[in-house]
């Protein structure tokens, strides 16, 4: 289902929309046009992992996991 924003032709695909509520009870549902929007534990925005607890541990773990791959690429160039 798509919901159209009043006056600005904003179309929201409710089935594709996700919600992340930082430091708020996940028991409360977010709805749009009587449809519940899926809630997620985390998502990536401009390369940064944002999680529901407001912390950055997931982002740090992701960055640390990428380090060996970067060093392998650097070795190919003799750096």
Q: What is the pLDDT of residue 25?
A: 66
Residue with tokens 């009587």: 34
What is the Cα–Cα distance from 20 to 42, expressed in whole angstroms?
7
Q: Taking a C-beta distance cutoff of 8 angstroms, is the pair 37, 47 a contact?
A: no
Query: Considering its fold, how many domains does the chain have in total?
Result: 1
Mean pLDDT split into 10-residue runs, the chain, 79 residues: 64 85 75 86 84 79 85 82
**14 is in which domain, residue-wise?**
2-76
């Amino acid at each position: 289902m798509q919901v159209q924003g009043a006056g600005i032709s904003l179309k929201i695909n409710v089935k594709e929309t996700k919600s992340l509520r930082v430091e708020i009870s996940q028991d409360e549902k977010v709805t749009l046009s009587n449809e519940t929007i899926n809630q997620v534990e985390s998502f990536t925005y401009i390369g940064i992992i944002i999680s529901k607890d407001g912390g950055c541990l997931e982002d740090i773990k992701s960055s640390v996991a990428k380090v060996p791959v970067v060093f392998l690429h650097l070795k190919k160039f003799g750096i």
